[in-house]
């Protein structure tokens, strides 16, 4: 797969407990859809956070899906003010360089206020696993149309 921005080959890389396809040039990351991992997330309570947190936007993205070359759509994960692009054919998400680290920092700040059992890295991994599940991609696509 090639980077949608630089057309450089993406390489497998582990970041904060998650394996991603990363671009060696712009450091962007492609998160492939993962079907099976979604089950694991039942252990985490996203009930309140999940409500109204996904904001698909009509802003067209100039990026193309590294898997199918279709135009990606932009959406915002409002809870962490995180903007991502996703493939409407449910292939995955594109995240800019170091956006994941920024979210982890936000989670760390929030952690000071709340007593959390889970580590910040575990929560980020769980958030991504949930985002990469087919059902969530399906919901995003529905909201856009
Ligand atoms: Zn790149
Ligand atoms: Zn695609």
Question: pLDDT tens for residues 14-57?
Answer: 888 788 899 999 999 998 887 645 444 444 444 545 555 666 66
Each residue's pLDDT tens digit, 47-89: 545 555 666 666 778 899 999 999 998 888 777 778 889 998 8
In a domain, 79, yes or no: yes
In a domain, 74, yes or no: yes
In a domain, 37, yes or no: yes
Estimate the crossing angle of helix 99-113 against helix 120-131, to 10 degrees: 120
Instruction: State how many domains the chain has.
Output: 1
Using the mean position of ligand 2's atoms as its centre, give its distance from the Cα of residue 22 in Å: 16
Query: How many CB atoms neighbour CB 143 within 10 A?
Result: 11
Using the mean position of ligand 2's atoms as its centre, give its distance from the Cα of residue 90 in Å: 6
Each residue's pLDDT tens digit, 111-137: 776 666 677 888 888 788 777 877 777
Query: How many CB atoms neighbour CB 80 within 10 A?
Result: 19
Using the mean position of ligand 2's atoms as its centre, give its distance from the Cα of residue 105 in Å: 30
In a domain, 5, yes or no: no
């Amino acid at each position: 797969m090639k980077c949608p921005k630089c057309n450089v080959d993406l390489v497998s890389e582990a970041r904060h407990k998650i394996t991603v396809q990363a671009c060696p040039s712009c450091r962007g990351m492609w998160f492939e859809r993962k079907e099976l991992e979604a089950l694991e997330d039942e252990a985490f309570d996203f009930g309140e956070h999940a409500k109204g947190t996904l904001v698909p936007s009509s802003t067209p993205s100039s990026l193309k899906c590294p898997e199918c070359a279709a135009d990606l759509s932009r959406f915002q994960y409002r809870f962490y003010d995180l903007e991502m692009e996703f493939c409407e054919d449910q292939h995955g998400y594109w995240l800019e360089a170091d956006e994941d680290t920024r979210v982890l920092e936000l989670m760390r700040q929030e952690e000071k206020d709340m007593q959390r059992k889970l580590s910040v890295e575990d929560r980020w991994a769980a958030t991504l696993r949930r985002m990469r599940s087919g059902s969530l991609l399906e919901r995003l696509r529905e909201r856009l149309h």
